[in-house]
Amino acid sequence: MTRTDVPPTGDERASLVTFLDYVRDTARMKCDGVSAEDARSAPLPGSPLMTLCGLINHVRWVEHWWFDVMFLDGKDEGPWTDEDPDREMRVAVDIPLADLLAEYTAQNVRHRELVAAHSLDEMAKRTLRDGSAINLRWILLHLIEEIARHNGHLDILREMADGTTGD
């Protein structure tokens, strides 16, 4: 797999969407060639839900939340519940990593089209819990930060699983 190349220059929109694709691609690359057992393994004693499968499912559902629910005011179809707010990470170990990655990739295509069809200044239909309004630009920046942070987790888990390291 190759990762999206981030050019050192470009306008704001191009930079935001390219960096989002870059961190998405990085998440997928962290999972290349991992065994099914290692993809479900939770080696950190204080983080029993922290698995490669769990993290991929988490970033998939986080994107759903921000684009489909917050920006478009769509139905929240996430697997989480009030009683189990991290359920997307818990249920992921029962889903093959290849399926999780395919779902995530298909969703990325839809969200890329959504972003292309809207202004960065367009306001989300929903507000944050504190009532603050957010625009598409804020959502893109937040997702870049969120996925990049989880890529660090994926990197550690992958190295612990089979010694694979990389960018």
40 in helix, strand or coil? helix
What's the pLDDT score for residue 34? 97
What's the pLDDT score for residue 10? 82
Asked if residue 18 is part of any domain, the answer here is yes
What sign has the CA pseudo-torsion 73, 77, 81, 85?
A: negative
What's the pLDDT score for residue 7? 73
**Site of tokens 């991992």:** 34
Asked if residue 3 is part of any domain, the answer here is no
Asked if residue 167 is part of any domain, the answer here is no
Answer for the pair 76, 69: CB distance below 8 angstroms, yes or no: yes
Which range of residues forms the domain containing residue 133?
A: 12-162
Confidence (pTM): 0.94
Question: How many other C-beta atoms lie within 10 A of the C-beta of residue 5?
Answer: 9
What's the pLDDT score for residue 74? 98
Tally of domains within the chain:
1
What's the pLDDT score for residue 157? 97
What's the pLDDT score for residue 166? 78
10-residue mean pLDDT profile of the chain (167 residues): values are 76 96 97 97 93 98 98 97 95 97 98 98 98 98 98 96 88
Asked if residue 85 is part of any domain, the answer here is yes
Residue type, 109: V
Answer for the pair 79, 88: CB distance below 8 angstroms, yes or no: yes
Residue type, 148: A
Tell me the CATH number at 71: 1.20.120.450
**Site of tokens 């986080």:** 62
Asked if residue 4 is part of any domain, the answer here is no
What's the pLDDT score for residue 88? 97
